[in-house]
Structure 1
Amino acid sequence: MEAKTETAAAAVAMEEREIINNVMCLLTDPDATPLGAPMYLPQNAGPQQLQQIVNKLLNNEERLPYSFYISDEELVVPLSTYLQKNKVSVEKALPIVCQPQAIFRIRPVSRCSATISGHGEAVLTVAFSPDGRQLASGSGDTTVRFWDIGTQTPMYTCTGHKNWVLCIAWSPDGKYLVSGSKSGELQCWDPQTGKSLSNPLTGHKKWITGISSEPAHLNTPCRRFVSASKDGDARIWDISLKRCVIVLSGHTLAVTCVKWGGDGVIYTGSQDCTIKVWETTQGKLIRELKGHGHWVNSLALSTEYVLRTGAFDHTGKQYSSPEEMKQVALERYNKMRGNAPERLVSGSDDFTMFLWEPFVSKHPKTRMTGHQQLVNHVYFSPDGQWVASASFDKSVKLWNGTTGKFVAAFRGHVGPVYQISWSADSRLLLSGSKDSTLKVWDIRTRNPNEEGVSGLSLGQ
């Protein structure tokens, strides 16, 4: 009898030790929706074990990759190491956000793989086609060029502009490319032939500062696009009608940037310190976003990647009909957006950024401060999880794309940072600077105020 009692006591003691060595966790999706009931997990569990648990909870037929976050910090070590380092209380269930990752990975960046020459003057703007098979470039030599990415060779040289080509934009279905010049005219090009689809589109009185196409999930074939100009107006054009159909007037100074959102509205940022929101059937102003104390330089949408690529993803699938393309584009947009509203970030000469949810409120969700000079460029990562900002203070900063909370600063440039760009898997960030270098940052190895990717620098 005593032996049985001792055995039972030992079993209870062992169970208590196991509970102490475990931690209660609540796994949630990025929208904070629980994936199941709270559960006890071993403290030695790390990302690899959590991957297996999440895939089992969600009954994924094919094992999908996830990354895990606790209080906006990525979990890259066992739970015990994280808890000890951050002195986290385990009296309550520990929330762990499970972020699905791209199922493809970008090749490591270590050197220049090709140099494609041809332009006679500086290249001022470049853009990949939605399916990633072509590259277009605009130059100070007044030409637009199309390049084949597979062979890294020139395809077509398009002439017709009378001044520098300042910006270009593809339609999300890949059927045409629009280019805008310093003299204010726009040209539409067929990427399959390199020929102009119309006479120059005129109406703007000063140079073009931005171009954005209507998303494919709203209208396919993609007929309409919007252009912004230093003349203070934005204009909606119909490529099939070959003319301007709506003029968006109301800004008192130059329009510096324009985005056609996935909800069907157009956002314009201006030197008059405001952001205006327009509906696109009659061009009525429906909201004005105020708060910046100086010029608005850059706008970015949380859904920007799926808006730009439309129905095209990493599989390279081609579509036989506009209806199928529109349906797939809508599915990709809805999956990317989820239940959350589309978010907008603005960067300004006042050294700050604002995070907005324009359909929820005309007031900013948060004010993002930390840069010591003007913010020149802001950009959401393709998965919408991060916001990167480039500033004349020579730094690149990383922010949480949902809350606007500061995450890290990347330093290493010795001149103003002009532009940034993301890899399609949201893991690598590229920055271009006046110091004539490009730097590649790996956000998985980020540390505040430390350089990423061992300071990988590509340049002269």
Structure 2
Amino acid sequence: MVEHTLDTDSMKPILLHGHERSITQIKYNREGDLIFSCAKDSQPNVWYSLNGERLGSFRGHNGAVWNIDVNWESTKVLTASADNTCKLWDCETGKTLASLDTATAVRTCGFSFSGRYIMYTTDKTMGRPCEIHIFDLNDIRNGEPTMVIPISSSKITSAVWGPYEEYIITGHENGEICHYDLKSGDKINSCKEHSKQINDLQLSKDMSMLISASKDTTAKLFETATLGHMKTYKTERPVNSASLSPIYDHVVLGGGQEAMDVTTTSTKVGKFDARFYHLVFEEEFGRVKGHFGPINSTAFHPDGKSYSSGGEDGYVRVHYFDPSYFDFRFEF
């Protein structure tokens, strides 16, 4: 097989600068016309993906916002924050619909596929265990969760809903990936292919595959239902985020040297470019430079014609692919 490198130098990004501190997560809505971003400042933003215009902000948190999600119809937004709250917002007006108080920082959050349920996970600190909280949106005003699942093992660092709302998929500080059943709350499946913390979990468009990004310098592809390990994408730096293209067999990885160590080395050593790999062959075929600092979050547009990355520098960069990307083929 001959590997051809994709020319990405001519891709001029749209720069979104509405955060004062490093980006923690970016997410497209289902149609892809909106980008939601949150950062270590207390103000999540929403943008038009087409031109990068800021549509508005969600004001109300008092600490870093670690995670953000939007429901299927783009009517509600969910945020998880270090100020010990998980907030539900009206997407159109930016008003707070519900604020769920917790004993420790909220690390992850997400809407279920139908949008009826939400889940969030709390940190293991101050003598309190890590927990998964599940709420029915019809009963959210009483503040009582439908279910609370205590996690006795390592802290959850990333979590997503599985297909059909049957289980929640969690990534842990020790590198483990688990399924937690929605009916019983039991751990029904697990694997430990990573040796260090999992920074990000993302599903493919049809939810049949799961990709994980880890501090152990790799991203790995799994079958969602069985957690069977299929592929590994190797780098030489911690991987903070990984996304699967909805139209091609492509994977984009974002990461870089730890932020605290960046000032001691040159920008070349830090390797802050987004890297593209072939899903099946595990071969790298392109890089996109630009961020001054590690990339903390990546996301493909739902139509596969562009992607975004959010970095430690506080910028979200929206890249629309050149024709060369769509013409690019691996040759045997």
Q: Give the TM-score taking structure 2 as reference length.
A: 0.73
2:116 alignment partner in structure 1? 223
Do the aligned partners of 1:126 and 1:136 also contact (CA within 8 Å) in 2?
A: yes
1:247 alignment partner in structure 2? 148
2:209 alignment partner in structure 1? 343
Do the aligned partners of 2:21 and 2:312 also contact (CA within 8 Å) in 1?
A: no
1:214 alignment partner in structure 2? 112
What root-mean-square deviation, in Å, do the aligned CA atoms of Structure 1 and Structure 2 show?
3.6
Distance 2:288 2:39 in 1: 30
Q: Which one has more relative contact order, counting CA pairs under 8 Å at least 6 apart?
A: 2
Q: Figure out how many residues of one structure are paired with residues of the other and give that number.
A: 296
Report which of the two has the higher share of helix. 1
Do the aligned partners of 1:116 and 1:153 also contact (CA within 8 Å) in 2?
A: no
Do the aligned partners of 1:302 and 1:384 also contact (CA within 8 Å) in 2?
A: no
1:202 alignment partner in structure 2? 101
Do the aligned partners of 2:212 and 2:219 also contact (CA within 8 Å) in 1?
A: yes
1:62-96 CA deviation, whole Å, 9 max, x = no partner?
Answer: xxxxxxxxx7989xxxxxxxxxxxxxxxxxxxxxx
2:89 alignment partner in structure 1? 189
2:261 alignment partner in structure 1? none
Do the aligned partners of 1:408 and 1:446 also contact (CA within 8 Å) in 2?
A: no
Q: Does 1:405 align with 2:271?
A: no
Distance 1:342 1:273 in 2: 21
Distance 2:46 2:218 in 1: 36
1:342, distance to aligned residue in structure 2 (A):
0.7
Q: Which has the larger radius of gyration?
A: 1
Do the aligned partners of 1:367 and 1:404 also contact (CA within 8 Å) in 2?
A: no
* Structure 2 CA distance for partners of 1:345 and 1:147, relative to 1, 3 Å: closer
Distance 2:80 2:204 in 1: 25
1:234, distance to aligned residue in structure 2 (A):
2.3
1:116, distance to aligned residue in structure 2 (A):
7.6
* Structure 2 CA distance for partners of 1:72 and 1:376, relative to 1, 3 Å: farther
| Residue type of the alignment partner of 1:210 | T
1:100-128 CA deviation, whole Å, 9 max, x = no partner?
Answer: xxxxxxxx964648x786x7x44745544
* Structure 2 CA distance for partners of 1:417 and 1:170, relative to 1, 3 Å: closer
1:202, distance to aligned residue in structure 2 (A):
2.2
Do the aligned partners of 1:72 and 1:400 also contact (CA within 8 Å) in 2?
A: no
Distance 1:271 1:350 in 2: 11
1:275, distance to aligned residue in structure 2 (A):
0.5
| Residue type of the alignment partner of 2:295 | V
1:160, distance to aligned residue in structure 2 (A):
3.3
2:265 alignment partner in structure 1? none
Q: Give the TM-score taking structure 1 as reference length.
A: 0.55
1:215, distance to aligned residue in structure 2 (A):
0.8
1:238 alignment partner in structure 2? 136
* SS of 2:243 mapped into structure 1: strand
Q: Does 1:425 align with 2:275?
A: no
| Residue type of the alignment partner of 2:212 | S
* Structure 2 CA distance for partners of 1:194 and 1:354, relative to 1, 3 Å: closer
Distance 2:30 2:160 in 1: 16
| Residue type of the alignment partner of 1:354 | K
1:240-283 CA deviation, whole Å, 9 max, x = no partner?
Answer: 21132222333533211111122432110010220011222232
1:368 alignment partner in structure 2? 233
Distance 1:410 1:298 in 2: 20
| Residue type of the alignment partner of 2:118 | F
* Structure 2 CA distance for partners of 1:405 and 1:142, relative to 1, 3 Å: closer
Q: Does 1:176 align with 2:41?
A: no
| Residue type of the alignment partner of 1:408 | F
Indicate the percent of aligned positions where both proteins have the same amino acid.
19
Distance 1:350 1:193 in 2: 41
Which ranges of structure 2 fall in alignment gaps of 5 or more residues?
5-9, 125-129, 257-270
Distance 1:278 1:420 in 2: 25
Distance 2:17 2:236 in 1: 36
Equivalent of 1:383 in 233, 244, 247: 247
Distance 1:435 1:202 in 2: 30
Report which of the two has the higher share of strand. 2
Counterparts of residues 146-165 of structure 1 (less than 5 Å)? 152=53, 154=55, 158-165=58-65
2:157 alignment partner in structure 1? 256
1:101 alignment partner in structure 2? none
1:135, distance to aligned residue in structure 2 (A):
5.1
* SS of 1:259 mapped into structure 2: strand
